[in-house]
């Protein structure tokens, strides 16, 4: 588990590093969601990530759902974390200067529909959810399951907000893109 935990930490660290470096190179924001909505969404997301990624002792929340002796489940979880973080990084790089940590419309905003955006409309969220699920699976504790549920809830709310902004910003091109490409899971959802 120690080696797998290290791999998981490196994956999340790489994702965080890309986010920090790339955040300094974004376009100015023209429109964004209201402050109350942003605070609620970010608070839920942060709480979820803390539960999934941290190793603080959490009483009953640290109880495992499966014995620690199932290496196949743990290995699958590490693999999903690697794939999810890699996919989110690819999507973040493909989005370029249009990115924001909250649902926004940027100055000279471009609708990106290539690369990972040809597979899902919200590939960063797809990658983050896959990585969060993988990390949860790699060490199935109640806190990680709860964290995964909180991250999922926060991202579903953000998707709703982003969809509304994209329809307003791209009334001609976003609806056909939305019909053609699923939100999170290629071909399904």
- DSSP result, 46-84: HHHHHHHH-----GGGG-BSS-TT-HHHHHHHHHHHHHH
In a domain, 13, yes or no: yes
Phi-psi region of 186 (alpha: psi -120 to 50; beta: other; left: phi over 0): beta
In a domain, 53, yes or no: yes
In a domain, 173, yes or no: yes
The boundaries of the domain holding residue 94 are: 2-24+33-180
CATH of the domain at 152: 1.20.120.1630
Q: How far separated are the first and last CA of the chain, in Å rounded?
A: 33
Q: How many domains does the chain have?
A: 1
Number of residues that this document lists for the chain: 189
In a domain, 52, yes or no: yes
Tokens of 159: 């998707």
In a domain, 188, yes or no: no
Taking only the tens of pLDDT, the chain with its 189 residues reads 567 889 999 999 999 999 999 999 999 999 998 888 888 889 999 999 999 998 877 788 888 877 766 788 889 999 999 999 999 999 999 999 999 988 999 999 999 999 999 999 999 999 999 999 999 999 889 999 999 999 999 999 999 999 999 999 999 999 999 999 999 999 999
């Amino acid at each position: 588990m120690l080696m797998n935990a290290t791999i998981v930490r490196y994956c999340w660290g790489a994702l965080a590093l890309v986010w920090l470096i790339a955040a300094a190179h974004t376009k100015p924001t023209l429109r964004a969601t209201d402050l109350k909505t942003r605070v609620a969404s970010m608070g839920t997301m942060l709480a979820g990530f803390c539960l999934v990624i941290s190793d603080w002792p959490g009483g009953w929340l640290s109880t495992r759902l499966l014995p620690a002796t199932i290496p196949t489940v743990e290995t699958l979880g590490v693999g999903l974390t690697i794939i999810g973080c890699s996919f989110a990084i690819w999507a973040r790089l493909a989005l370029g200067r249009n990115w924001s940590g909250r649902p926004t419309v940027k100055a000279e905003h471009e609708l990106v529909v290539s690369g990972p955006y040809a597979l899902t409309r919200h590939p960063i969220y797809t990658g983050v959810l896959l990585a969060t699920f993988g990390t949860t699976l790699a060490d199935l504790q109640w806190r990680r399951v709860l964290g995964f549920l909180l991250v999922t809830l926060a991202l579903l709310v953000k998707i709703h907000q982003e969809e509304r902004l994209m329809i307003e910003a791209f009334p001609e091109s976003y609806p056909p893109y939305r019909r053609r490409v699923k939100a999170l899971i290629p071909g399904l959802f």
